[in-house]
Amino acid sequence: MDNIRIIEVKRSIFDDNNKDADLLRAELKAKGVFLLNLMSSPGSGKTTTLIRTINMLKSDLGIAVMEADIDSDVDAKKILAATGVQSVQLHTGGMCHLDADMTRQGIAGLDLDGVDLVILENVGNLVCPAEFDTGAAKNCMILSVPEGDDKPLKYPLMFSVCDLVLINKMDVAPYFDFDLEKCKEYILRRNPNAEVIPVSAKTGEGMEKFAEWLKRQVKTQKEGE
């Protein structure tokens, strides 16, 4: 189970990342593949969230995962061991984000036959990944309760580029001063179109909603072809 493919992604040679991202988005759509870009701080629970979500969806959808990290392969191994789905590790060589070309290098390492949904777990960082369109069809971020309800005020770009915000670790909410309504208000102030789903990837609370959201996105993209 430990046979993880590691791809050392190279710095992009394209001047216009936005154009390249649009191109990748169109290519993936034509192949019937929905790409989700999942972002968050380090330690907000991206990998745990992915594992539970994949296990809820893998009988309905063909799923593959790209795990971006500075230089470990901890996450891709975890994903493969816990879900059995195709998983590659992208090493960014110290870079703090992925752009569209780096994402394309990762996609090239996947076998897309039968795959409906590719999830890119971006580098844990609330700043840089928000600045680069990866070519994903949708952006999702995870904010976890222990990080605090004021994060949308402090990392505004991240919240404004995300279609969906998962508020994770709701199971520990009683032990933190986290005001969910205030947090939602801050998010919507940055991004009136954002959807917000409170979840606990650990207990499963709210995860059905996220799985439904994903199924709906994949279906909508396919129907739009």
Shortest Cβ 211–its own copies spacing (Å): 23
Residue pair 25/118 in contact by the 8 Å Cβ criterion: no
Quick one: 25 or 169, whose CB is closer to its own copies? 169
Output the six-digit token pair for 115.
Answer: 């795959």
Task: Give the alpha-carbon dihedral of 151, 156, 157, 161, to 10 degrees.
Answer: 80
Residue position matching structure tokens 């960082």: 125
Shortest Cβ 71–its own copies spacing (Å): 7
Quick one: 75 or 101, whose CB is closer to its own copies? 75
Shortest Cβ 3–its own copies spacing (Å): 19
Rounded CA-CA distance 52/211 in Å is 9
Output the six-digit token pair for 91.
Answer: 């090493």
Going 148 to 149 to 151 to 157, the CA torsion angle's sign is positive
Shortest Cβ 69–its own copies spacing (Å): 6
Shortest Cβ 220–its own copies spacing (Å): 31
Quick one: 112 or 157, whose CB is closer to its own copies? 157
Quick one: 24 or 39, whose CB is closer to its own copies? 39
Shortest Cβ 75–its own copies spacing (Å): 8
3-state DSSP call for residue 182?
A: helix
Rounded CA-CA distance 3/48 in Å is 20
Quick one: 23 or 153, whose CB is closer to its own copies? 153
DSSP characters for 47-58?
HHHHHHHHHHHT
Quick one: 64 or 123, whose CB is closer to its own copies? 123
Rounded CA-CA distance 211/55 in Å is 10
Q: Which residues bind its own copies (CB under 8 A)?
A: 41-44, 69-72, 74-75, 94, 96, 123-128, 131, 144, 146-148, 150-151, 153-157, 169, 171-172, 175-176
